[in-house]
Chains A and B, each alone.
Chain A
Amino acid sequence: MADVEVAERSPLTTEDQPHKPASRTPERALQLLFLVPAVAYLLLFFGYPVVKNILMGFQHYTTSTFYTGEAPWVGLANYSAVIGSAVFSKALVNTALFTIGSIAGQFVIGLALAVFFRRKFPLSGVLRSLLLLPWLIPLIVSGTVWRWILDQDNGALNRFLGAAHLADRPGWLTSTSLALIAVIIVNIWIGIPFNATILYGGLQDIPEELYEAAEMDGATGWRAFRHVTWPLLRPVVGVVLVLGVVYTIKVLDIILGLTGGGPANATQTIATQSYHLSFQQYDFGQGAALGNILIIISLVFAVLYLRANRKAVDE
Chain B
Amino acid sequence: MPTRKTVLTVTLTLLAPLALGACGGGSSGSKDGDASTLRVLDYYNNEPDKTVYQKTLEACGQANGVTIQREAVPGANLIAKVLQQSSSRTLPDVLMLDNPDLQQIAASGALAPISDFGLSADGYIKGVVDASTYNGKVYGLQPITNSIGLFYNKDLLAKAGVKPPATWDELKTAAKALTKGDQYGLAFSAPANYEGTWQFLPFMWSNGGDEKNIATPQTAAALQLWVDLVRDGSASKSVLNWTQADVNDQFKAGKAAMMINGPWQFPVLNADTALHYDVVPTPVPTAGATGIAPLGGETWTIPQTGNKDRQAKAAKIVACLNSDDNQLALGKERQTVPTKTALLDKFVADNPSMKAFATIVQTARSRTGELGADWPKAATKIYTGVQTALTGGAPPAKALEQAQNG
Contact = CB atoms under 8 A, between A and B. Distances in A.
When A and B assemble into the complex, do they touch directly, with CB atoms less than 8 Å apart?
yes
Contact of A261 (B104, B108, B192): B192
17 contacts: A63-B107, A64-B107, A66-B84, A66-B87, A69-B87, A86-B402, A151-B238, A154-B255, A175-B237, A259-B191, A263-B387, A264-B388, A264-B390, A264-B391, A266-B391, A276-B380, A279-B79
A173 B87 contact: no
A65 B405 CA distance: 27
Interface string A134-155: 0000000000000100011110
Contacts of A265: 192, 384, 387
Interface in B376-399: 376-377, 380, 384, 387-388, 390-391, 393
Which among A64, A86, A147, A261 has the highest number of chain B CB atoms within 10 Å?
Answer: A64
A280 interface: yes
Interface in A243-271: 259-266
Contacts of A174: 237-238, 240-241, 391
Interface of B: 79-80, 83-84, 86-87, 104-105, 107-110, 182, 191-194, 236-238, 240-241, 255, 373, 376-377, 380, 384, 387-388, 390-391, 393, 402, 405-406
A214 to B, nearest CB: 31
A260 B191 contact: yes
Nearest to B386: A264
Nearest to A69: B87
A64 B193 CA distance: 23
Contacts of A67: 86-87, 108-110
Given A151-B241, A152-B238, A153-B238, 11 more contacts: A62-B108, A63-B79, A63-B105, A64-B109, A69-B87, A153-B182, A176-B393, A262-B240, A263-B241, A263-B390, A264-B192
Interface string A260-304: 111111100000000010011110000000000000000000000
Nearest to B195: A260
Contacts of A101: none
A260 B107 contact: no
Contacts of A31: none
Contacts of B105: 63
A281 to B, nearest CB: 5
A282 B236 CA distance: 32
A264 B384 contact: yes
A68 B240 contact: no
A280 B376 contact: yes
Chain B interface mostly helix, strand, loop or mixed?
A: helix
A279 B80 contact: yes
A152 B237 CA distance: 8
A92 interface: no
A173 B393 CA distance: 15
Contact of A86 (B87, B109, B387, B406): B406
A69 B110 CA distance: 12
**Closest A-B pairs by Cβ, 5 of them:** A262-B192, A86-B406, A64-B108, A260-B192, A66-B86
Given A280-B376, A280-B380, A260 B193 contact: yes
A10 interface: no
A87 interface: yes
A85 interface: yes
A62 B110 CA distance: 13
Nearest to A276: B380
A275 to B, nearest CB: 11
A211 B402 CA distance: 61
B393 A282 contact: no
A133 B238 CA distance: 29
B393 A147 contact: no
Contacts of B238: 151-153, 171, 173-174
Contacts of A264: 192, 384, 387-388, 390-391, 393
A209 B192 CA distance: 56
A205 B374 CA distance: 58
B236 A152 contact: yes
A66 B91 CA distance: 11
Contacts of B406: 85-87
Contact of B83 (A63, A69, A87, A151): A63
Nearest to A177: B391
Interface in A48-96: 62-69, 85-87
